[in-house]
Structure 1
């Protein structure tokens, strides 16, 4: 058994695969490769459909606050590039403070130079006030751009914040926009597990025999902490 981040000793599901010889392994691997190729082709087809979705014109004048109190419009967030991706950070959660799940996703954002080379800007949007947002970003050591949309309807308009009666009134998510001159078009949003592909920690774990090691948890992501809150994991205890 191994100690979880919360101090519990619930163990992830152990591997049950029987040992194999080289020929058995190779046959199984080749069979799986065909399934992986099918999945890749299906994902490529869905990507093309996503890119062909009709777009909406954004006509609301949102004001975002960047570090240092700079006031920015949605158009400003593009930084002159054609495309904009916004990651919607959830607000503070009771008992957790800043959302550890969203923090997990932000930790998995890579070097932005590669997106910039494809004429695309990525910005993380926070619903919390600017000062609190800036303080938390500094604590986490993030360099990805953050802005606050506090006091605007940005989250409601893009269905990140739902009705207060909903059991989960806010959702983590991603939205994409296209700039045509000074006109902003809204293209796409995805929420919750729709952004799984953006989390490389999960993608790497999915390649391993033990996988995400969440099957024993009632709340699958209950193990996730802010990256400076993990206790040392005791392996083999």
Structure 2
């Protein structure tokens, strides 16, 4: 709190208050789920689309241009648009699902405890996977076709060629983009805030949203700074681990 009557070093009191907050563990778990599922989904979708766009098909240049559209859409516009589409009363998603017989009646995807966070993860994957597509597609362009043809002549199947030749050559770019997106996603605030504001009942609240509530709603800048410092420490630790892994890999 901003209290002029208090002065001096607070020590670890702010950190203790943050850790003992009743919603801290929930927000921490949501942050892990949000980050892991988002990055995993983005990588899987990016890899599939990159492999598809790397094939010699008619109109490939057009498809490559179209697939980047979700990435260039601003987060606020994407979040608000998907919120409208997922609305149970007039959202087009519920309309399609009910007409196809997948669900019996419109469902409040962003308003239920079990689906709020997963729905935002889905939308985040939809918007962010083109970044993976472009990066992995660039990596696929560097894979030697002569090597693939030689492996095919030797009897290696499509699956063997993909996992034994293609994927090892995508290792560097894969690790790099995954590491970058882990950081970007873990500290992401705007997507969840635009779509759910951390609700319902803190079901989709992550640590960045918790920091925002401390600072901008409760004006508890001490706790907000403490939690932000904890997240910064985590990011620095992740960077150090990534650097050590990269150095060890370069030596081998």
TM-score by length of 2: 0.23
User: Which structure has the highest helix share of the two?
Assistant: 2
Greater share of residues in strand: 1
